[in-house]
Amino acid sequence: MTGAIQVRCLQTIGDREIQGLSDVLIDCVEGGASVSFMLPMSRAKAEAYWHRMSASVARGERVVLVAEDAAGAIVGTVTVILDQPENQPHRGEIAKMLVHRGVRRQGVGAALLAAAERSALSAGKTLLVLDTASDDAERLYARQGWQRCGQIPHYALLPNGTPSATTIFFKLLGS
Ligand SMILES: CC(C)(COP(=O)(O)OP(=O)(O)OC[C@H]1O[C@@H](n2cnc3c(N)ncnc32)[C@H](O)[C@@H]1OP(=O)(O)O)[C@@H](O)C(=O)NCCC(=O)NCCS
């Protein structure tokens, strides 16, 4: 990854971070990413989502990491969901792996994923799971040692309304 981009874990998500995270989310949805949102993607929807996530981070339910450029602008993000049922305390989930189209294919996604795995491990997680509808993301996860389980057809809609399959992955940490 280019040395100008740094990954850090957000202890709190304030207004500045909500703006930057919303910029990245809007760019990814407008680029066709299947990450829970439909077109048209508004700033209000993006900000409302990150406000909810800010409260969830404050409750200790999840960790949000960001990649920032040399000027401090947020260009990518990933979430580790820590909060699980009491019989799965060792399991976490990766969600909202998003890199702005302007900085893709420079290793930002790989750096975010590695940092998310380290955060999960330090929070006591030994198993991570995720699902993805992106071929680009599938290659990223496979390259970093994730195990592909299979595909569920017609799982969700792409932002333009087209049905899409999702692929399930897991990774055992620390073994
Ligand atoms: C999936 C996603 C996060 C990947 O982010 P990224 O920052 O481009 O990821 P990386 O740069 O680590 O890897 C992407 C590619 O660039 C290549 N690459 C990395 N560094 C490079 C460099 N310095 N020079 C040339 N190529 C490079 C990687 O080998 C990889 O190649 P591949 O596509 O042939 O497998 C990004 O495409 C994205 O945000 N997609 C939309 C949102 C989405 O669908 N997220 C998944 C939800 S689960």
CB-CB neighbours of 166 under 10 Å: 17
Q: Whose CA is nearest to atom 10 of ligand 1?
A: 107
Please list the residues that pair with 6 across neighbouring strands. Answer: 68
The answer to whether the CB of 28 is under 6 A from ligand 1 is yes
Residues 20 and 166: their CA atoms lie apart, in Å, by 27
Q: Tens place of pLDDT for every residue, the chain, 175 residues?
A: 667 999 999 999 999 999 999 999 999 999 999 999 999 999 999 999 999 999 999 999 999 999 999 999 999 999 999 999 999 999 999 999 999 999 999 999 999 999 999 999 999 999 999 999 999 999 999 999 999 999 999 999 999 999 999 999 999 998 7
Q: Is the CB of 99 under 6 A from ligand 1?
A: yes
Rounded CA-CA distance 9/114 in Å is: 12
Residue nearest to atom 30 of ligand 1 (CA): 105
Ligand 1, atom 37: nearest CA belongs to which residue? 136
Q: Using the mean position of ligand 1's atoms as its centre, give its distance from the Cα of residue 98 in Å.
A: 10
**Distance between Cα 76 and ligand 1 center (Å):** 11
The CB of 30 under 6 Å from ligand 1? The reply is no
For residue 41, give the nearest of 50, 54, 53, 32 by alpha carbon.
Answer: 32
Q: Is the CB of 108 under 6 A from ligand 1?
A: yes
pTM of the model: 0.98
Atom of ligand 1 nearest to the CA of 35: 47
Q: How far apart are CA 132 and CA 168, in angstroms?
A: 7
